[in-house]
Each structure stands twice: as C-alpha cells, then as structure tokens.
Amino acid sequence: MTTARFTVPKQRLAQLLKTPGGLPVAEAIAAAQGNLAQLKPLCIGELDRLLATAEKIFAALGSAYDEDGVGALYETAVRGIGLGDVCGAGSVDIALHSLCDLLDHLQTHHRYDPEAVGVHLRAWKLLISTELPPEGAQAVLAGLNKVSALYSSPKAGEG
C-alpha cells in the first residue's frame, strides 16, 4: 500500500502583505502633493493651449450648424477634463463637462448656438485665469449648467 503526502506551499505574497513596511500614509500624501505641485504649471499651460485651440475653432464656425466644427470643438474640450483638478482649478473641469454636454445636445439635435458656446469658452478662460471666490465660481458654473440644460430637448433654446 502506498501513502500520499500533501504539501501546502507557503504563500509568499500573503507573507509580504502581512510584513509592515513602505511609507507612512502622511508621507505618501505629502510626496504625491509635491509631485502634483510640479505638474501644476504644465497642466495650466495645457488648459491654456486647449482653450486657444477651442477659440480658433469657435472663431471659424459660422452661425449655422457645422457637424465637423462642433465635433472638433467637443474633442478639444473633452481633452481638458481632469486637468483642472490636477492644477487646482476643479471648477474648470465642471465648466468643461457643461460645455461637452452642450455640444452633445447641439450635435444630437443638429443645431448650433454661438452665444451658448461662446459663454462657455469665456467662462473657461475666466476660471483658469483668475482666483474667483468659491461663491463666484459656483454662480458661473450654475449659469453654465442652466445654459446647457436649455438645449437638452429638440426645441429648447429657440425663440
């Protein structure tokens, strides 16, 4: 008669996970904030570059609906989402979301309103370039969201 012997290997990963080590949380957060501080000028520069591109596209658009132009404007705006949080201007991200929502609505209904798009671009510039008090930024963002919501239905914004 033969006997079987079962051997269970020790899990190295489990042992490593139980072993204390690494940076304390406070040090890790401080290091991450330091890294983000170094990225801030680059992010602001990228937001400015994207804004300049969006303004050029906007200037080239007429008052009639242009599928390619609105699409290019959308592609430019969506690339900026997330950069605002990195550079300490989170309100820019909210404004860019509102602009993208507006452009989605306009594309869906094959419409274009240069005033609605223009106010979003001016707000983008304002939110990057100045230190608005939180109440002022919130008022600007609330206004942008109202403008975007006006175009969520096919007949909205006409008048």
pTM here is 0.78
Per residue in 89-101, pLDDT (tens digit) is 889 999 999 999 9
Domains of the chain: 22-150 (1.20.120.160)
Token couple for 35: 């890294």
Phi first, then psi: what are they for 66, rounded to 5°? -135, 105
- Which of 1-10, 67-76, 126-135: highest mean pLDDT? 67-76
From the list 72, 33, 55, 34, the residue with the least C-alpha distance to 128 is 55
The CA distance from 76 to 120, in Å, is 13
Q: Which two tokens stand for residue 115?
A: 């005033």
Judged by DSSP in three states, 29 sits in helix
